[in-house]
Amino acid sequence: MVVYIVCSLVALLASGLTFFSGFGLGTLLTPVFALFFPIEIAITITSIVHFLNNLFKLTLTYRNINSQVLISFGIAAFIAAMIGALVLNFFVGYEVFFTYHFLNRNFDITALKLGIGLMIIFFTLFENYKPKNKNTVQKNMFVGGLLSGFCGGLSGNQGALRSMFLNTVGMSKESFIATGIAIACLTDISRMSIYIKNLGQSSNQIQFKLVLTVTLFAFVGALIGNKLLQKTTLFIVNKIVMAMLLIIGLLMCLGIV
């Protein structure tokens, strides 16, 4: 019962937050599932909930997708996510170089999470830099797609890096959210094609009733977030993105997410 309550409430909150930050569900839900399941199973379960929720959100936002950004960023993310998922299959356990104990829990710091966390913090602090050259923006989109896609396939954490790069384009809040959701769907399809192997081999460890319950709560969160987004300004959305990026970057550096 505890796992149902905790995971469902996190899914409700995180799904609503995605309409303001462009990320949140996979980043927050993966470590929560990891409290109850092995990490490879937690990532697989999260990808299912994440994908179904993104499909639902896509029906609410598809009219505002920026097709140019979707192509330049999404194709790179699709390819890189598959590579990241393949790496995960070979290296289920991340190499831990430091472990600390806090509040009766052990937290592991890995080179991957530390590197991604520091990168997120660095680019967030310099988020006012927005390339004016169109070619530079396109190049950044391709690189951003590769980085976020690979990290999404490997660890399930793709949204923070994706939002960091998309935030430099200067899209409207509606287009920013809709394009991010579409890219997330492409990434999910790519990595789930690899995760499906884990799903078949470990189906006895997956509580599909739990997956359905958490997904439904995520749907409710998406509906609430979509309604609230219409009442916010682009300035508020950008500030929320910055705050969330800094928090997630710090938590990743500390090995908490």
pLDDT digits (tens, 9 = 90+) for 186-244: 988 888 888 776 555 555 666 788 889 999 999 999 899 888 877 777 667 667 767 77
Calculate helix-pair angle for 134-155, 67-90, nearest 10 degrees. 30
Q: What percent of the chain has pLDDT over 90?
A: 15
What CA–CA distance (Å, rounded) separates 50 from 44?
A: 10
How wide is the angle at C-alpha 221 spanned by C-alphas 107 and 149, nearest 5°? 55
The answer to which of 56-60, 103-107, 122-126 has the lowest mean pLDDT is 122-126
- pTM of the entire predicted model: 0.72
Contacts of 245 (CB under 8 A, 6+ apart): 21, 120, 121, 123, 124, 127, 160, 163, 164
The answer to which of 53-57, 112-116, 184-188, 190-194 has the lowest mean pLDDT is 112-116
Tokens read off for 132 = 């004016």
Q: Residue 45's pLDDT band (boundaries 50, 70, 90)?
A: confident
Residue that is written with structure tokens 């928090």 in the block: 247
Chain length of the chain: 257
Q: Are 111 and 91 in contact (CB under 8 A)?
A: no
What CA–CA distance (Å, rounded) separates 15 from 221?
A: 5
Q: How far is CA 185 from CA 57, 100, 138, 225, in A?
A: 10, 35, 20, 18
